[in-house]
């Protein structure tokens, strides 16, 4: 398990000091209605938004300054990403399970994956609606994972260690290979971490802002996309549930001088968002 990183792609700050408190619960928005007969009906948000509340005692000045700049949007970033050290898999929850909305072609369905080769096809299973498979036409067919939070690549910064494990069905294949492609802020390819097997691990190089995990079965066939794992700061493992890596916005913070100076007591609250205007 690694440290917490926070900030925009390419400019995340690593916080290596453990937080005094770390609340990562989701805002369920549950409402209960009790009938005269005593029965209870519950309503809740269909897609709960995660909230993070972090607090440190005697936080080092360099980290406190970075968090202060993020909270006040000094550098112009309205949304940030939080690499949560408690998250073992930053793929989306459905994406990690090889699932999506039945019939959906967008990021909640088919667009969670895309091929990176001239051959191969990502498609919804014809026998189990809402599950997705990759059909490899030959040894060159390759599939990649999109970040469901950015609808594109996964955000990184130089120095972040990243590990990717191919889907469970790919892993036993002796021909299976994996890659993590690092890209700059414009999406231009920089370098890759290669795995001669179902696991690839590497460190984001200088100039990196995004990463794209890819896997190649290395043989013709149709394979389930369930069981893939993308981990920051650790080693990806098979079958870890997806936590996602959504964009977040700061909703509040406190910054108090500590004893001894120049350390500071700092807390910051964030919420998962689809946008952060203003």
Locate 32 and state its tokens.
Answer: 């209960």
Locate 102 and state its tokens.
Answer: 């039945």
**Residues with Cβ within 8 Å of residue 221, at least 6 apart in sequence:** 135, 136
Separation between Cα atoms, residue 119 and residue 29, nearest integer Å: 45
Kindly state the average pLDDT of the residues 140-144: 98
Average pLDDT over the chain reads 92
Could you tell me the end-to-end alpha-carbon distance of the chain, in angstroms, rounded to an integer?
A: 35
Contact 81, 245 (CB under 8 A): yes
Q: Residue 17: CA atoms inside 13 Å, Cβ hemisphere, count?
A: 20
Separation between Cα atoms, residue 164 and residue 237, nearest integer Å: 8
Transcribe 72-132 into DSSP letters: TTTTS-S-BEEE-TT-S--S-HHHHTTB--TT--STTTGGGEEE-SSS-EEEE-SSSTTBE
Least reliable range by pLDDT among 13-22, 117-126, 199-208: 13-22
Locate 16 and state its tokens.
Answer: 């290596």
Tokens 């609606």 sit on residue: 129
Q: Tell me which range, 34-38, 168-172, 253-257, 262-266, is most confidently predicted by mean pLDDT.
A: 168-172
Least reliable range by pLDDT among 7-16, 24-33, 66-75: 24-33
β-pairing, 4-7 with 81-83? antiparallel
Least reliable range by pLDDT among 195-209, 230-244, 263-277: 263-277
Kindly state the average pLDDT of the residues 191-202: 97
Helices and strands in the chain: count of H runs, count of E runs: 2, 22
What is the pLDDT, as a whole number, of residue 278?
A: 45
Q: What is the pTM of this model?
A: 0.91
pLDDT tens track for 45-85: 677 788 999 999 999 999 999 999 999 999 888 899 999 88
SS3 assignment, position 83: strand
Sort 86 into a burial class: Cβ within 10 Å, 0-12 / 13-18 / 19+.
Answer: exposed
Kindly state the average pLDDT of the residues 169-178: 97
pLDDT tens track for 90-124: 999 999 999 999 999 999 999 999 999 999 999 99
Residue 127 region by backbone torsions, left for phi larger than 0, else alpha for psi between -120 and 50, else beta: alpha
């Amino acid at each position: 398990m690694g440290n917490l990183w926070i900030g925009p792609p390419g400019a995340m700050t690593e916080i290596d000091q453990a937080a005094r408190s770390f609340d990562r619960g989701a805002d369920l928005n549950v409402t209960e209605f009790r009938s005269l007969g005593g029965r209870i009906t519950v309503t809740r948000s269909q897609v709960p938004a995660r909230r993070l509340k972090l607090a440190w005692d005697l936080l080092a000045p360099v980290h406190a300054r970075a968090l202060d700049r993020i909270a006040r949007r000094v550098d112009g970033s309205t949304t940030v990403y939080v690499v949560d050290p408690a998250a073992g898999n930053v793929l989306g929850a459905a994406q990690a399970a090889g699932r999506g909305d039945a019939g959906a072609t967008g990021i909640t369905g088919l667009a969670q994956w895309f091929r990176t080769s001239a051959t191969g096809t990502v498609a919804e299973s014809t026998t189990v609606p809402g599950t997705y498979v990759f059909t490899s036409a030959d040894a060159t067919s390759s599939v990649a994972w999109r970040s469901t939070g950015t609808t594109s690549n996964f955000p990184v910064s130089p120095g972040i260690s990243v590990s990717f494990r191919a889907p469970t069905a790919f892993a036993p294949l002796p021909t299976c290979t994996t890659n993590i492609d690092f890209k700059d802020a414009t999406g231009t390819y920089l370098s890759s971490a290669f795995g001669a097997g179902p696991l690839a691990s590497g460190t984001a190089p200088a100039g990196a802002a995004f990463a794209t995990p890819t896997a190649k079965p290395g043989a013709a066939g149709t394979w389930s996309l369930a069981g893939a794992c993308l981990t920051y700061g650790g080693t990806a493992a098979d079958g870890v549930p997806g936590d996602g890596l959504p964009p977040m916005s700061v909703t509040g913070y406190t910054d108090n001088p500590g004893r001894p100076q120049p350390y500071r007591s700092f807390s910051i609250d964030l919420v998962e968002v689809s946008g952060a205007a203003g």
